Chains A and B, each alone.
Chain A
Amino acid sequence: MSDGNRSRFAAVALLLLKLRAVLVLLILLVAFSILTPSFLTANNLSILAKHVSINAILAIGMTFAILAGGIDLSVGSVAGLAGMVAGGLLTVRIGGHTVGVVWVVFAALLVSCGVGLLNGLLVSRIGVAPFIATLGTLYIARGTALLISNGKTFPNLGGTATSGSTGFSVIGQSFVLGVPLPVWMMIVIAALASAIALRTPFGRHVYAVGGNERAARLAGIRVGRVKLLTYCFSGFCAGLVGLIIASQLESAHPATGESFELNAIAAVVLGGTSLMGGRGSVRGSLIGAFVIGVLADGLVMMGVSEFWQIVIKGLVIVLAVTVDQVQTKVEARMAPAALGESIAKVAV
């Protein structure tokens, strides 16, 4: 192989490695379409997108926390807490009146952002390791969710026309232009988050803080504030997910969202974001969430045992991280070539 061919081969290999999540998604879609005829129907795809939207929204929030060099383990609990706050407020009567749905949604999101703020303060002001801080708030939020109802479920959140409390089910159940509202939320949040990450000073600051915190500080970036905002955003996304689930079920259960944080982290990692921070993308996390969702739905439709599904999910994650290491090595091997050229340029 000539040198030119080899470097072209390496470039193509690198491109394929970078696009691996997309490729895997396409392969899965094609494979399941062939294996199960009902997979590629509009109805199934709509259900699939709805499932994916929940994990995707969590993963997008998680992406910012991880890009800035942190992690947010509390998202599943926060989703559960947001649902319970909404359930409690929809159920309660203040002076014989119900609380308006808009206020309910606002309060639930406010509480979720509040937990995010607490995470951010613990990490940026007190200096607690993100893993530990958010592990703590994971328990606090879950315990609080259980305390709100004493562990019971809030049923019938759809409300009745007579009490004027309907509307909550719109969040999770309505369609716009034939597409479920949660899917629209996912699309809007993904587009907005991606634009923020790539096209605002804040987004660039997030990458810088995760890539080299000391350098970021010396460049005048308010590192603490950047971290704080990433956790608030992650909390917001988690709260939204909690509302969507409660609305879809028209009930709020305190155990909702258990281990969701792990699915979200898996999606982020599958999407090529480095757990060390500083490298990754919102788009990647979105694709990662789709890979997990398609895999889960497809396997169900093929009638694969639930236990095997768990094993397969684990294998996919391990494989993804292994490939990520390969990519890093390939890039490292290509870097000296670039260095050589820049030196040659100086010599000329």
Chain B
Amino acid sequence: MSDVVLEARGVTKRYGANVALKNVTFQVRRGAVNVLIGENGAGKSTLMRLLAGVETADAGEIWMEGRQLAMRSPRDAEAAGIAIVHQELAVLENLDLSENIFAGRELVRSAVLIDCDGQDVRSEAALKELHKPLKLRSLAGTLSLGNRQLVEVARSLAHGAKVLILDEPTSALSVAESTSLFSVIGELKRRGVAIVYISHRLHELLELGDHFTVMRDGRIVGQGERAEVDRQWIVERMSGRDLEREPERPAKQTTCEPRFEVQGIATNGADRTAVRDVAFTVGAGEIVGVYGLLGSGRTELLEALAGLDAMTAGEVRISGDAVCVDSVADAISAGIALVPEDRQRDGLVPELSIRENISLASLPDFARRGWLRRRAEAARVREIAAQMHIAARDLEAKVTTLSGGNQQKVVLARCLMRRPRVLLLDEPTRGVDVGAKAEIYRLLRELSAKGLSVLFATSEIEEARTLADRVLVMVQGALVAEFDAATMTDEALFAAASPAVEGPR
């Protein structure tokens, strides 16, 4: 097809033993919005990193306008006319707009001096194309998130981008800002720019998209034109509900009394999503999932409950008694433990051994008159490591020698060693291979069968469906729906989690 401007042909990318992309062919069309959909870990971001030259493919080719590109760095991609606006915006807050637009590619006169006038003229032109009357001299740090994003789009335009990749552009935008972005996208389309649009928000995609591509497990599992695509088409391919692989769900005795009660919880957010008036209960022996898209406040909710983030209102009760969760230590002594989303950043201490990482939260239990009873510690660690099938040759080895799944089990073991009454998990199987995932699910079911209350947050429909007894849906910091996992449909879950841009959903 002649309107294909950029094409990835049979690209494969491996990270160690994990294959992130398997022989993927993806076409980007001129003057159209090319939508890319998939759950976390489906391979979308990896594919975009290859197209933007941030990483190099292990196999396969990338073609632009009929010639093959040798992509070795982001500069090669830029030179070819491919620009990316990352989910995490990369504006330089201490520089003004014109300086931002030309950062790293400054116009130069007399060999050394920056041509400020030239930069201003071209910046002005780029912003005008977007119909944005922003002042060139204002510092990027003073702009709203939406406007920062536009500065990045302007940056791409000023450098003549033919392909613009937008990675979850609306995740942090207000409704008005999103609407304004959509009109900019329409304008770019008319000018023949090819847009690659990544988002989880179905209604946005259906409103904007021309060509649809769905990814799962590093493969492309569906492609379609606007006319043939609807909500159900997308959700079916995305969640990959495969009846043969459907894990058996153990019959659940749902007569458990509420163990963990949360009433009217709120946080003030600052630069994150504020949790707004959230209330729910988790029974003893129940597994409850909190499903939400990026920016829905699921992580913020768990962090507030674990004492990491201050609550501005609300009450937490365990077995009927009000408990204090002003600090992590308070929450832990009340019996609440959190397995964080990002185990490298918030979970593991890389310099310590596997044993020391597992026992980290329980050291006072092993102390007698201030001294650690190291034999008791080691014995208890061995016991729990065996229970959880942590595959380690030597518990004295550094924790970083373990695979992702085993590292996750180490963090989980640390929480369980405290014998919590309520276990919170944020994305319990992120970056974990399939085998370890199944094992973690099995483990959590066993624990809940013994009476532990489990609350986990997830952005994956499959995880919510597979692990939870009951699923709560979060949108923009508030709970909006509740489903019984046994009877809910994926589509209903996804629809409930998609925030309405305007009008009734």
Contact = CB atoms under 8 A, between A and B. Distances in A.
Interface in B344-394: 345-352, 356, 360-361, 363-364, 366-367, 370-372, 374, 391-394
A346 B393 contact: no
A338 B395 CA distance: 12
Interface stretch (A84-92, A122-130, A205-213): A205-213
Nearest to B373: A199
A212 B403 CA distance: 19
B87 interface: no
A120 interface: no
Measured as residues with beta carbon below 8 angstroms from the partner, the interface class of chain B is 35 or more
A303 to B, nearest CB: 43
Contacts of B352: 207-208, 211, 278
Contact of A342 (B308, B332, B356, B406): B406
Contact of B372 (A199, A274, A279, A341): A199
Nearest to B333: A220
A211 B350 contact: yes
A341 B324 CA distance: 44
A201 interface: yes
Contacts of B364: 201
Given A335-B401, A342-B406, A346-B391, A218 B346 contact: yes
Contacts of B400: 335
B414 interface: yes
Contact of B308 (A204, A217, A274): A217
B389 to A, nearest CB: 9
A150 interface: no
A342 B403 contact: yes
Interface string A167-204: 00000000000000000000000000001000111101
Contacts of A210: 351
A219 B414 contact: yes
Interface string A209-229: 011101111111110000000
A339 interface: yes
Given A279-B351, A335-B401, A342 B361 contact: no
Interface string A232-274: 0000000000000000000000000000000000000000001
A345 interface: yes
B317 interface: no
B158 to A, nearest CB: 38
Nearest to B331: A220
B397 interface: yes
Contact of B402 (A217, A278, A342): A342
Top-5 shortest CB links A-B = A201-B363, A211-B349, A220-B332, A278-B351, A219-B361
14 contacts: A200-B371, A201-B367, A205-B363, A208-B349, A211-B350, A212-B345, A218-B308, A220-B328, A221-B329, A222-B329, A339-B403, A341-B393, A342-B402, A346-B435
Given A211-B350, A278-B351, 13 more contacts: A201-B370, A204-B363, A208-B349, A210-B351, A215-B347, A219-B328, A220-B331, A278-B349, A335-B398, A335-B400, A338-B401, A343-B403, A345-B391
